Amino acid sequence: MIRILIIDDEPKARETVSHLLKLSFPQIEEVKEAESVSTGLQAIKTYKPNLVFLDIQLEDGSGFDILQKLDQIDFQIIFITAFNEYAVKAFKYAAIDYLMKPINPKEFIIAVKQAISNHNEYDFKTKIEAYMSHLKDSAAEHKKIILKTAESIHLIKVQDIIRCVADKGYTEFYLHNAKKILVSKGLKDFDDLLNDFGFIRTHQSHLINLDYIASFEKTDGGYILMTDGSTVPVSSRKKEYVFRVFEGL
């Protein structure tokens, strides 16, 4: 049986989540509510939920205050937030499920299904570290990103990524220590996240970190030589863009 806990200081928000659960997940029978850090913390310890809907901003603190007071996080979390775009992008870096207020029913269903399917994954301490690295520190060298594989959750410094290569519906990350990580997400998802930190798309299948460029070779149609010795193609429609980037370096 799946036990749900909704922690939000807005009665209307709790009512919305509860209603959507009844409407789309009738198999879920146990739903409890709390409205603050103190009552939420007590409810988690008493009720032992499988899934918690957690508002970021509560009257007596934040949802993160609750998590920091727990010795173990053995439940799934879907954050609820009215935060701005910058904070939402931090959620994406950390691979944390979230819902924006007002809650979109279709996004709600997707988030709950994903949380249920990930019921054995509890490494939220790692994810929260990645989230806070983006929210609190503006320096690019301190940014971290979560990369999830079938076997592990990796916390990676953005500056350690040399390049990313599309592999059908997957993305392969090449790191400065010669390590490779294959992630089951498309390259476009990471293009959107990394373009603020010196990454450029040179080709439909290639995203590179400008810090690791060794040279731009104009022969053979044009390609980029990276510091790790790898070569990256430049598509014909990207050449002008790549030239402009090089002129600005």
Q: Are 122 and 165 part of one and the same domain? A: no
For residue 210, pLDDT over 70 is answered with: yes
More confident residue, 155 or 245: 155
pLDDT bin (cut points 50, 70, 90) of residue 49 is very high
The number of distinct structural domains making up the chain is 2
Q: Are 54 and 102 part of one and the same domain? A: yes
For residue 2, pLDDT over 90 is answered with: no
Instruction: Quick: pLDDT tens for 144-201.
Output: 898 988 788 898 999 999 999 998 889 999 999 889 999 998 999 899 889 888 899 9
Domain containing 124 equals 3-131
The SS3 assignment for 80 reads: strand
Domain boundary among 131, 152, 178: 131
Q: Are 148 and 125 part of one and the same domain? A: no
Q: Are 171 and 199 part of one and the same domain? A: yes
CA torsion angle for 67, 95, 194, 105 (degrees, to 10)?
Answer: -110
Q: Are 34 and 127 part of one and the same domain? A: yes
- Residues ≥6 apart with Cβ < 8 Å to 65: 37, 58
Would you state the pLDDT for residue 175? 97
Contact 164, 175 (CB under 8 A): no
Residue type, 185: K
Please give the model's pTM, rounded to 2 decimal places.
0.68
Instruction: Quick: pLDDT tens for 77-133.
Output: 999 988 766 567 778 777 788 899 999 999 999 999 988 887 666 567 778 778 877
Q: Are 80 and 195 part of one and the same domain? A: no
